[in-house]
Structure 1
Amino acid sequence: MTQHESKETKGSWRLFLRLLKRTKPSVGLIVTAVLMSLAGTLISLIIPLFTKKLVDGFDVSSLSFGQIAVFGGCFILQAVVSGVSMYMLNVSGQRVVANLRDQLWRKLLRLPVSYYDNNRTGETISRMTNDTGVVKQLIAENFTGFLTGIISVIGSVVVLFYMDWQMTAVMLGVIPIAALFMVPLGRQMYLVSKGLQTETASFTTTLTQVLSEIRLVKSMNAEPREYEAGEKGISSLFRFGRKEAKIQAMIAPLMFFVMMMLLVVIVGYGGMRVSSGALTAGELVAFILYLIQIVMPMSQISTFFTQFKKTVGATERIIHILDAPEEDHQKGRQVDKAEQAIRIENLSFGYGDGEPVLRELTFEVAPGTVSAIVGPSGGGKTTLFSLLERYYEPTGGTIKLGSDGIDGFALASWRRQIGYVSQESPLIAGTIRENICYGIDHEVTQEELVRAAEMAYAHIFISELPNGYDTEVGERGIKLSGGQRQRIAIARALLRDPKILMLDEATSSLDSRSEVVVQEALKNLMAGRTTLVIAHRLSTVVDADQIVFMEKGRLTGKGTHEELLANHPMYKEFATQQLRLTEQDADVSGLQ
């Protein structure tokens, strides 16, 4: 083994032990199980000695009931003790993996949005399911056999050296020969397993992406293309599976070959020693029984190391997630007074090493007023909202509430002040009631629920549904129309009762009739709240107390509708286009 490989192995063990330590395993339960396993193995080591005495002094008349009872009792006791210790070790392993999954799930919920920007969802899901499954198999299944196997092998070798060190030395001389084949195979298994796990994660990503957007796939007749992508993943998994099968197919016969070679050596050499009188027949039988107790666990031990190679890759990826920086929701002070001006001061931001999306942005939103954010696509409007929600940290400048930087507030407290209604109006799979109450940390009464729905102009259509508020909306709210989803999102924001409201093109994807209803609902939502609106429609912009015009991340204009119409050429062009579109919509409505 090279120095690099030695360091890698040590590092792998340390990494795995570090992961185990984080799961806080039940030390008492494990120690008890190990002691019971040790006791069971010691009992199993006594059985060949009983057999030796029986063979050497075999005489039916000398057999007593007590001897038979002791012999049978040893078998029963060994089976019970081994079974109980195996159960306890399995329970310990299952608990370790359950704690690991719990930590991983908590971590995934606390990771910032930037983590999900840089990591594919399918791969993250694979870490949670496939990789923890690999760790579970090692701890809950293979570790038990490994531990009992090690104890059995060591105990058997010690007894054999005591019985006849010469025969034991001959027997152990075969093991280095087997190692010449097993070590390279183990290294190959590690490489194959690592590739298999990577391909599994990639395939999971493809499945997640395609199945979550199945309507797009079907509407674009993209089934052949997606089948081809999936088929490549399946073929790749098959190739790795075939390589794994080849290695396993070589390991099993090699283990059988080693066992048979040992058996031949022991029987042949032992027979010679028996004939010369150096060894009794009973001792030779005991030797063969101890040999079985050495060889049988060898397969379990080799399986453990093979599985450990798989677990190393899984451990590295799990540790990578667990060590990733997370959001601290409680660090900072509580927001005591949210009815203050929001001040954007020299704000700059860029994603990673890319071009800046926002450049030295400065403006103020007075409390209780409406500010419309307007400008061409790609100007940084949605990014500004993401910074206000603290999904990302600015690369320059600050955002303040009053005179305090928002980064000084506890994240949970700050986000509690914000109500966000987006163009997509995301819903979770569940009932309408669950969606409106989503994220509310107190019991919501039926009266509060209905009041929020009425103000969002949603109560009437909800009441007309077969199950009312208990109607299932389907995955991502697919059973509802765009307008209905939007009104449920508004009802959710109303129930949250935020002090700051952010509307991201909340009506841009709706038809004219739905837009009228949603606009009325939004008026109820905006009343008395500090509101920022990303808007493409003139009807939203005209009534705003302030309009901020953004181009390529820079603020190029600020004022009322009339002021910008007179002084800002691009805004005038924007307003003229919107007015023309509004007139066209009116003409179409008249024809209908």
Structure 2
Amino acid sequence: MATTTSSEHSGKSNWRAFVRLLIQANPPKLVLSIALGLSIISTLVGLVIPLFTKNVVDSFSISSLSWAQISGMAIAFVAQAIASGISVYLLNYAGQRVVAGIRDRLWKKLLVLPVGYYDNNQTGDTISRMTNDTAIIKGLITEHMAGFITGIIAIIGSIGVLLYMDWKMTLIMFSVFPLAFVILFPLGRQMYKVSKGLQAETASFTSVLNRVLSEIRLVKAANAEPVEYNAGSSGIQKLFQFGLKEGRIQAMMAPLISFVMLMLLVVLFGYGGMRVSSGAITAGQLVAFMLYLFQIVLPITQITQFFNQVQKTMGATDTILKVLDYEEENPHAGETLQNASQSLHLEGVTFSYKEGEPVLKNVSFTMEAGKVTAIVGPSGSGKTTMFSLLERFYAPQNGSIKLGQDPIERFSLVSWRSQIGYVSQESPLIAGTIRDNICYGMQREVTQEELQRASQMAYADAFIEELPDKYDTEVGERGIKLSGGQRQRIAIARALLRNPKILMLDEATSSLDSKSEVVVQQALQNLMQGRTTLVIAHRLSTVVDADQIIFLDKGKVTGSGTHQELLETHDMYREFAAQQLQIQDQQFQTIEPQAMKQIRLASHSEVRA
């Protein structure tokens, strides 16, 4: 009994959630009302037609036919067809508007969800919410809702007329329906379970496709085609199995409905024939009975399909609302940052992605305004996490980060992030032109002079001018048509154009060859001038001139000072430096003097360019 109560409560909750989702999508109420009104008119006209037929059959002779009767039936048929056609179009329009409204809300929501949401949800699942689940809701509105409402009216109207014409034959005829309901109801519950499983598996399969196709070069380079084929094939087989289950349920439903229909026809013609022969009813009434029977059975099929679609829609509603109800960022909440040229203070910052597994532990240090602070340490020590906290992708569990005397949470996300320039190890580019990528995120029109100036300071203008379409050159998905050094310089130009006061460099040159590194380093020097800069680097050669070096180990600050101070006071840093210098000496010795000279000349040549 408790299970039943829980199930009923869940069903009511799902309906309330669905209605809430529709209302929030701001459906065109007038259009829906007109569409449903026309559908009802079409159904009512359909209820009158069997009565016309009855009169024609009962008084059938050429002389008895009047133009009024013929014209009346013709007008009824035409009116029904016109009303039905307009209704279908308006319902389709309303459904498309509702889905567009839901998708617009979803898209807006996805852009303001915190990074933590994307850490815990696969991209393919999220895409499925936007495409597949919203399409299911559209199907319910455009294809099934009108059929359900008009079907109910048709059934009630037909039963009313039949009871009026001959209540005894009506009751005998409908004695079949309770049996059909007992059989079909469990099948409907099974269809609900299958539909939910099918939606979940579709989302999972979409995730696999998105992951593999977005990293197809990695797949090919690693010879991972067989592995990924097996993963995709497994998803296809699961979808196939769910499709078979759905097919089996539908295969049982269709014959059962046909069986009910045949039983009704047998009862109708057997008992009805007896009633006609005894004179209790006329032949015209028997024909009308048959036509009304069709107006009952066909809507029952529509109603069954409606409830099947409802089960799918309830599942889709649940998953969409989980996204829409997720706690979001408010980009504009807080004060506008007026002066970002102040020192940054980390005071006792502790952060963990998982409870009980801290990545940063009681971290405290100060980044002086306009100076360079470098963070070094072994991999996994929390360096990149610190960047994420500064960009406010996450909030520390303990401690605070302050700009001057103010916690950074005091400022709106929009104004805070507009003051940060970020250049990473693999600077992301969007599919589009070089101009699109340099100007990405700018809220104003960027002039050609500003674009060229930023490119010159980033040492990107030389290679851009050599391209056939210059700034309108397509970079390909994720910038694949450009080299690593070119991508980095475009990222630096993007940062220069934003003119940030706080700069974060995350291994900005570690993946480059020596020639590209020289050029990018010079571009970074231009970018760093007069800005509060935080640098992450594994190679000490890129940070030895920093104003301050913070040594981070296992989430804790174990030393701070200049390069020389840490060499004298910090054992791990000294060991770290010794290893670095030894590796650099070995690399230097493997290059012949003439080759070194060519590299230096080429590097200086590109810098001058």
- Where on the TM-score scale, by shorter chain, does this alignment land: which range? over 0.9
Structure 1 residue 6 displacement after superposition: 2.2
Aligned: 1:247 with 2:249: yes
Paired residue for 2:385? 383
Q: How many residues align?
A: 592
Code of the aligned partner of 1:232: S
Cα deviation code 1:400-433 (max 9, x no counterpart): 1111101111111111110100001011111111
Work out the CA distance in 2 between the residues paired with 1:147 and 1:412: 48
The residue matched to 2:296 in structure 1 has which SS?
Answer: helix
Task: Give the residue type in structure 1 aligned to 2:274.
Answer: M
Q: Hey, what's the Cα distance between the residues in 2 that align with 1:217 and 1:170? A: 67
Displacement of 1:218: 1.3
Distance 2:279 2:108 in 1: 69
Greater shift in the superposed pair: 459-468 or 140-149: 140-149
- Residue 120 (structure 1) aligns with: 122
Q: Of 543, 546, 559, which aligns to 2:545? A: 543
Amino acid at match of 1:40: S
Q: Distance in 2 between matches of 1:581 and 1:443?
A: 47
The answer to whether the 8 Å contact 1:348/1:359 transfers is yes
Q: Cα deviations across residues 428-451 of structure 1 (Å, max 9, x unaligned)? A: 111111111110111111111111
Distance in 2 (CA, whole Å) between partners of 1:484 and 1:136 is 45
2:274 equivalent among 272, 275, 279: 272
CA distance in 2, matches of 1:335, 1:175: 71
The answer for the alignment partner of 1:516 in structure 2 is 518
Work out the CA distance in 2 between the residues paired with 1:153 and 1:463. 74
Instruction: Supply the distance in 2 between the matched residues of 1:354 and 1:104 (Cα, whole angstroms).
Output: 33
In structure 2, the partner of 1:213 is 215
Aligned to 1:101: 103
Task: Tell me the secondary structure at the aligned position of residue 259 of structure 1.
Answer: helix
Report if aligned partners of 2:36, 2:146 keep a CA contact under 8 Å in 1: no
Task: Output one character per residue of 1:9-62: Cα deviation in whole Å (capped at 9) or x when no partner.
Answer: 222222211221221111121112222211111111111111111111122112
Indicate conservation of the 8 Å contact 1:436/1:491, yes or no.
yes
Secondary structure of 2:421 counterpart = strand
Moved more, 131-140 or 68-77: 131-140
In 2: Cα distance, 1:317 partner to 1:511 partner = 47
TM-score scaled by length of structure 2: 0.95
Question: Contact between 1:344 and 1:400, CA under 8 Å: does it hold in 2?
Answer: yes
Unaligned runs of 5+ in 2: 596-609
Q: Which secondary structure state, in structure 2, belongs to the residue aligned with residue 536 of structure 1? A: coil
2-structure distance, mates of 1:352, 1:375: 22
- Residue 194 of structure 1 and its aligned partner are, at CA, apart by 1.3
Rounded to whole Å, the distance in 1 between the matches of 2:17 and 2:171 is: 36
Q: What does residue 364 of structure 1 align with?
A: 366
Q: 1: CA distance between counterparts of 2:258 and 2:211?
A: 45
Residue aligning to 1:25? 27
Provide, for residues 194-229 of structure 1, a one-character-per-residue CA deviation record: whole Å limited to 9, x for no partner: 111111111111111111111121112111111111
**5 Å matches for 1:522-533?**
522-533=524-535
Among candidates 299, 306, 309, match of residue 308 of structure 2 = 306
The question of whether the paired residues in 2 share the 8 Å contact of 1:333 and 1:409 is answered with yes
Range moving further from structure 2, 436-445 or 154-163: 154-163
Q: Secondary structure at the match of 1:364?
A: strand
Describe the superposition over 1:145-203 as per-residue Cα deviations: whole angstroms up to 9, x where unpaired: 22222222222122222222222222222111111111111111111111111111111
Deviations 1:63-84 (A, max 9, x none): 1222211110010001111211
Report the secondary structure of 1:164's partner residue. Answer: helix
The aligned amino acid for 1:497 is N
- Displacement of 1:571 in angstroms is 1.0
Aligned equivalents of 1:354, 1:125: Cα separation in 2: 32
- Aligned-residue Cα RMSD (Å) equals 1.3
Moved more, 25-34 or 482-491: 25-34
Q: Kindly provide the amino acid, as one letter, of the partner of residue 384 in structure 1.
A: M
C-alpha offsets along residues 494-534 of structure 1, whole Å, 9 cap, x if unaligned? 11111110001101111111110000000011111111001
* Correspondences of 1:447-462 after superposition (within 5 Å): 447-462=449-464
Query: How far, CA to CA, are the matches of 1:540 and 1:262 in structure 2?
Result: 87
Query: Is the contact made by 1:370 and 1:533 (CA closer than 8 Å) also made in structure 2?
Result: yes
| In 1: Cα distance, 2:464 partner to 2:96 partner | 45
The CA deviation string for residues 268-291 of structure 1, in whole angstroms up to 9 with x for no partner, is 121122222221111111111111
Q: Distance in 2 between matches of 1:354 and 1:27?
A: 51
C-alpha deviations, 1:224-254, integer Å up to 9, x for none?
A: 1111111111111111111111111111111
Q: Is the 8 A contact 2:88 2:142 kept in 1?
A: no
Q: Which amino acid aligns with 1:33?
A: A
1:173 aligned counterpart, secondary structure: helix
> Aligned equivalents of 2:271 and 2:508: distance in 1?
87
| d(CA) in 1 for partners of 2:188, 2:421 | 55
Aligned to 1:174: 176
Question: Within the alignment, does 1:69 sit opposite 2:64 as a pair?
Answer: no
Determine if the alignment matches structure 1 residue 222 to structure 2 residue 243.
Answer: no
Q: Quick one: distance in 1 between partners of 2:159 and 2:460?
A: 78
Asked whether 1:470 is paired with 2:476, we answer no
Q: In the aligned structure 2, how far is the partner of 1:482 from the partner of 1:467?
A: 20
Is the 1:343–1:400 contact (alpha carbons within 8 Å) kept by the matching residues of 2? Answer: yes
Distance in structure 2 (CA, Å) of the matches to 1:166 and 1:454: 93
Helix, strand or coil: the match of 1:435?
A: helix
**Correspondent of 2:141 among 131, 139, 144:** 139
Match of 1:407 in 2: 409
Identity %: 64
Higher mean alpha-carbon deviation, 302-311 vs 571-580, is at 571-580
Which sits farther off after the overlay, 38-47 or 323-332?
Answer: 38-47
- Output one character per residue of 1:97-119: Cα deviation in whole Å (capped at 9) or x when no partner: 11111111111111100001111
Q: State the secondary structure of the residue aligned to 1:329.
A: coil
| Secondary structure of 2:103 counterpart | helix
C-alpha displacement at 1:580, in angstroms?
Answer: 2.2
Counterpart of 2:241, as a letter, is R
Q: What is the Cα deviation at residue 590 of structure 1?
A: 3.3
| Alpha carbons 1:90, 1:144 under 8 Å: kept | no
Amino acid at match of 2:312: K
Stretch deviating more after TM superposition (522-531 or 248-257) = 248-257
Alignment correspondent of 2:292: 290
Code of the aligned partner of 1:158: G
Distance 1:16 1:171 in 2: 37
1:343 counterpart = 2:345: yes
AA paired with 1:143? M
* Residue 92 (structure 1) aligns with: 94
Structure 1 runs (4+) greater than 6 angstroms displaced:
none
Alpha-carbon separation, structure 1, partners of 2:171 and 2:22: 37
State the 1:354 CA deviation.
4.2
Pick one of 321, 330, 334 that aligns with 1:328.
330
Q: Which runs of 5+ in 1 are unaligned?
A: none
